[in-house]
Amino acid sequence: MDFQQVFGKPPETQASAPGRVNLLGEHTDYNDGFVLPTAIPQSTTVQLGLSSDSHHHFYSENLNEQVSILDINHSPSGFASYIFGCIEVLQKAGYKIPSLCVYVKSSVPMGSGLSSSAALEVATLRALRQLLNLPIDDVEIAQFAQQAEIHYAGVQCGIMDQMASSLADTEHILFLDTRTLKRRVMPLPDNAEILVIDSGVPRTLATSGYNQRRAECEEAARSLGVKALRDITDVEVTEKLPEPLRRRARHVVTEDNRVLEVLQGVTSERFGELMNASHASLRDDYEVSVPPLDTLVELLQKTPGVFGARLTGAGFGGASVALVVAGEARSIATYVLEQYKQAGYNGQILVPSLELSDAA
């Protein structure tokens, strides 16, 4: 069903926002650290119209689910919580938001660590900006989106996903200092393209594990007497911490240093080595990987034409990202997915997108 069929009238405006994949800088954003995301071709589109009654009405095409907000004092769950959160944070900032009809459709895979939630938030806020002519810029959209996710979806996220969805494109890497929001748009490494493969394992523990890791990092920063782990540059400083705080902090410090090395300019081969080191750190020090994801990453790392590979996103399942020789992503994916299947797992290629390339 389209907007007209669901709500009985055409939409008044629409906006889209992409998902993202993070090449380096995992679990550093909520430590005020450094990240290197890029946008992916898949996106979420939000269509808006004014409601004919005093209630908000949200519809998800992907879920074939409709939610009506009858009591604004009770936040809904599921996909509606993100939309409701965007409306509420704008209202708390002083903007008057009328009752709305909202229609959502998305090609961003859910549960793969590609920030389908940030794409939904940013698309919603962009559509609201257009509909109501709101004087908010792209950075403010990312900040409002982050607040919506924290306060209404219950995820204590950093700002990387929302900044990437709001500001990044598919042709470049976005270097972001998550403390200052200083950023630089950088080209992809020479003769390289991005390959993203879903492990086939849904991120079942991502939210609870994510919030636990964040709490551990905050405790580590307090123990070291700094505002955030981003303020530690020498990994030796983390050795005085008890376990598991030592390993959690060691991951964050070394991960920040990997991103900063890329900022100075590296070859595709070196970028790949840093991605491999990042996965080992996420697996061993941060403990957010799972065996199928480790298998997939190991297969990628051993395949000719792959510069490097790692898990991407919060972990506990989801997707892997690899930097590969330009023009070889599909053939590499076909080979690796066959090996992965022989190991007893079923994955699928997400980027380059088969559907989007066929449609083009």
List, for residues 193-241, the tens digit of each pLDDT value: 999 999 999 876 556 788 899 999 999 999 999 999 999 999 999 999 9
Segments in the chain forming alpha helices (H): 3-7, 79-92, 116-132, 138-152, 160-167, 206-224, 245-263, 268-284, 291-302, 329-342, 354-359
Q: What percent of the chain has pLDDT over 90?
A: 85
Residues 92 and 41 in one domain: yes
Separation between Cα atoms, residue 272 and residue 39, nearest integer Å: 19
Residue 215 lies in a domain: yes
pLDDT of residue 206: 56
Residue 297 lies in a domain: yes
Residue 359 lies in a domain: no
Residue 98 lies in a domain: yes
Residues 132 and 220 in one domain: no
Q: For residue 51, what is the domain's CATH number?
A: 3.30.230.10
Half-sphere exposure of 9 (CA within 13 A, CB side): 11
Q: Which amino acid is at 43?
A: S
Residues 15 and 148 in one domain: yes
Q: Which of 187, 205, 225 is the last residue of a domain?
A: 187
Confidence check: pLDDT of 360 > 50:
no
Q: What is the pTM of this model?
A: 0.89
Q: Which of 187, 205, 230 is the last residue of a domain?
A: 187
Domain encompassing residue 255 = 192-353
Secondary element (H or E) of residue 187: strand 183-187
Nearest residue to 312 (alpha-carbon basis) of 122, 160, 147, 99: 160
Question: What secondary structure letter does DSSP report for 73?
Answer: T
Confidence check: pLDDT of 287 > 70:
yes
Residues 36 and 171 in one domain: yes
Q: Which of 138, 159, 187 is the last residue of a domain?
A: 187
* Polymer length in residues for the chain: 360
Residues labelled catalytic: 161
Residues 74 and 99 in one domain: yes
Mean pLDDT of the chain: 93
Based on the structure, what is the number of domains in the chain?
A: 2
Confidence check: pLDDT of 113 > 80:
no
Location of structure tokens 């908010």: 136
Residues 159 and 25 in one domain: yes
